[in-house]
Amino acid sequence: MTSVTVRVPAKVNLQLAVGPLRDDGYHDLVNVFHAVSLFDEVTAAPADALSVTVEGGSIEGVPVNADNLAARAALLLAERLGVAPNVALTIRKTIPVAGGMAGGSADAAAALVACARLWGAGDADADLWEPAAILGSDVPFALLGGTALGTGRGEVLTPVQTAGRFHWVFALADGGLSTPAVYAECDRLREAEGWRPAPPQASQDLMAALAAGDAHALGAALGNDLQPAALSLRPALRDTLAAGREHGALGALVSGSGPTCAFLAESADHAGELTAALSKAGVARSAVQAYGPVPGATIV
Ligand code: C5P
């Protein structure tokens, strides 16, 4: 075996309903994940020791040591398989770093799939779910892809039926936001308002829109409980969201913990127009077009 390359998608949260803070530091979620056509690629090659190389445009802050979630994935899998974690991982990043699109989680999922194949773990798919959930709340979804309802801390997944293809534009920001910091800000804002959240519930309007492939209804049903916290930490994102709405986005929201903003378009053509308008408006580092749903981590 020479090397294995895995392509893995980014996600946007169509609904992110955040329950109260749990004793373990996590929040119970209702998290509707949707995989979109922005991909990272992870190559695993045999080597004398574990190494990580990161390539791509804006990769500042991505660790190139055992702190990288993909390296942690390789170490965890090697331990479980009883093999030496001797693998050179090369990560080619397109998914924005610390952007609320689960890029680090995607790389971890890709590393699990690539290393499992490299180390001859056979049809190990089923065996990857548990290590994936240990690595992070969003890692199991990066294995699955498509559209899925996540409960628990986000790691308990049920696939969601959708019709057709949805067209998106993502406005990428300069610099990232720390996920724990955004959750902490969400708790702080709720406490300041004296508001205790009820257990989160899946939106039936959202599920119906997905099943019908109805982009207008989907745009109206999108929701993210982390958005007030992301906007509190990064007020300029209000202008980004407003610019997308002005240009006819069917829905506009912060993606996950941000700072990437997601806009739902009517069609591929409309997404192209929206991408150009957002780029021109100067409200983002760049704007990129994508579609969903797409499959999860796949060997190429
Ligand atoms: O699971 P993961 O390591 O990706 O989570 C990163 C951080 O996001 C956690 O340390 C926690 O602060 C926050 N988080 C949360 N509730 C969740 C998922 C993540 O509070 N359900």
The low-confidence residues of the chain, meaning pLDDT below 70, are: 123-126
The residue extents of the domains of the chain are 4-160, 166-292
In this structure, which amino acid lies at residue 159?
A: P
| Token pair listed for 77 | 């899998």
- 16-21 contacts: CB < 8 A, separation 24 or more? 16/223, 16/224, 16/225, 16/226, 16/256, 17/200, 17/201, 17/202, 17/203, 17/223, 17/225, 18/183, 18/186, 18/197, 18/200, 18/225, 18/226, 19/197, 19/198, 19/199, 19/200, 20/196, 20/197, 21/187
Contact assessment for residue 212 and residue 220, using Cβ atoms and an 8 Å cutoff = no
d(CA 29, CA 202): 9
**11 an active-site residue?**
yes
pLDDT of residue 121: 84
CA dist list (Å): 238 to 51, 61, 97, 186, 228? 40, 25, 20, 17, 10
Query: Can you give the pLDDT at residue 220?
Result: 98
Cα-Cα-Cα-Cα dihedral sign, residues 81, 144, 16, 68 = positive
Q: What is the pLDDT of residue 140?
A: 97
Q: Which atom of ligand 1 is nearest to the CA of 31?
A: 21
Nearest CA among 279, 5, 244, 258 for reference residue 117: 5
Fold of domain 4-160: Ribosomal Protein S5; domain 2 (3.30.230)
Atom of ligand 1 nearest to the CA of 183: 20
Is there a common fold for 4-160 and 166-292? no
Q: How far is the CA of 134 from the centre of ligand 1 (A)?
A: 12
Question: What does the DSSP 8-state code read for residue 238?
Answer: H
- Position 26 scores a pLDDT of 96
Q: What angle do CA 295, 299, 300 make, to 5 degrees?
A: 100
Rounded distance between C-alpha atoms, residue 186 and residue 233, angstroms: 10
Ligand 1 lined by 187 (C-beta under 6 Å):
no
Q: How far apart are CA 31 and CA 12, in angstroms?
A: 10
Distance 71 CA to ligand 1 centre (A): 19
State phi, psi for 168 to the nearest 5 degrees: -130, 155
CB 153 less than 6 A from any atom of ligand 1: yes
Task: For domain 166-292, give the CATH number.
Answer: 3.30.70.890
Is 31 a pocket residue for ligand 1 (Cβ < 6 Å)?
no
Rg, Å, the chain Cα set: 19
169 membership: H or E segment, kind and range: strand 166-172
Check if 235 has its Cβ closer than 6 Å to any atom of ligand 1. Answer: no
